[in-house]
């Protein structure tokens, strides 16, 4: 994994990073000890291979470092978690994807 430097923009409730001069973001909302990842926005024309996966992994590691649970409401992020079962323990009890 290539670590992606992310910024938690709590005012806009999104994790952000700059890629090829453009802004990629994952929008979120938080409630209690859970972070709901609601929308993934990757600019069109990004040529970096595996950028999307590296970005999601970096955000998940940031959330994990804060001992929070993650609820993927974005289909793209839920699909990523389905393929990468090592992040399964980050899901709240009773949530299956």
Q: For residue range 5-20, list pLDDT tens digits in order.
A: 999 999 999 999 999 8
Contacts of 77 (CB under 8 A, 6+ apart): 26, 37, 40, 56
Can you give the pTM of this predicted structure? 0.91
Residue 94: the pLDDT is 85
R_g of the chain, CA atoms, integer Å? 13
CA 28 to chain centre: 9
- Return the pLDDT at 84: 93
What confidence tens digit (pLDDT) does each residue in 18-28 have?
998 999 999 99
Between 75 and 49, residue with greater pLDDT:
75
How many angstroms separate the Cα of 56 from the Cα of each of 16, 29, 63, 66, 94? 11, 16, 11, 16, 22
Contact 15, 28 (CB under 8 A): yes
């Amino acid at each position: 994994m290539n670590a992606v430097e992310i910024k938690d923009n709590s005012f806009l409730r999104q994790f952000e990073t700059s890629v090829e001069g453009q802004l990629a973001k994952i929008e979120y909302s938080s409630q209690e000890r859970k972070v709901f990842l609601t929308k993934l926005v990757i600019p069109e024309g990004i040529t970096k291979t595996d950028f999307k996966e590296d970005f999601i992994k970096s955000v998940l590691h940031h959330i994990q470092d804060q001992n929070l649970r993650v609820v993927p409401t974005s289909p793209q992020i839920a699909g990523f978690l389905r393929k990468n079962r090592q992040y399964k323990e980050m899901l709240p009890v009773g949530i299956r994807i």
